[in-house]
Amino acid sequence: MTDAAILIIRLATGIVMLSHGIGKFQKREILDKKWKKEYNYPIGTVVLAGILQVAGGLALIVGIFTSAAAFILTLNMLVAAYVCIWEHREPFNSVSPGKGWDINLLLLGVLVALILLGDGKWSVMEYLF
């Protein structure tokens, strides 16, 4: 049962992270300008975040280096939570589109759980090693 739960968590979280990463590439120019203006992040930070989210999401989906991928994505989500809470002063609940840090907290919790749980038996790593 535990391995089934790990698989479900890996797949759901991986799909969410993959989707967000792809979205960063689709809106790169807009996000580059916004992140530079609002947060003073260097140009290219959007691409870096997108690469981390796509690669990390794929790693979670297939179950390879899950703990490492979840750790890197946790760092990514800590920055996202910081921006939501301290830069934007967003409310906890996502009451309007794109506002709220409840999803950030949920993803952080799931990612920390994956760091602790690892790949599980239903993963590429299980078949490789």
Token reading at 13: 């979280």
Mean pLDDT of 91-117: 91
Mean pLDDT of 101-108: 95
Query: Which residue range is the domain that position 109 belongs to?
Result: 2-124
User: Does residue 129 form part of some domain?
Assistant: no
pLDDT for 99: 82
Token reading at 64: 């390879």
Instruction: Please identify which residue in the block is written with the tokens 């140009």.
Output: 43
Q: Using the 8-state DSSP alphabet, how is residue 120 labeled?
A: -
The number of C-alpha atoms within 13 Å of 110 and in the hemisphere containing its C-beta is: 22
* Tally of structural domains, the chain: 1
pLDDT at 96 over 80: no
Nearest to 64, CA basis, from 115, 119, 112: 119
Residue 41 CB neighbour total at 10 angstroms: 18
pLDDT at 98 over 80: no
User: Does residue 108 form part of some domain?
Assistant: yes
Token reading at 73: 């994505």
Mean pLDDT of 90-105: 86
- Average pLDDT value over all residues in the chain: 95
pLDDT at 97 over 80: no
User: Does residue 116 form part of some domain?
Assistant: yes
pTM over 0.85: yes
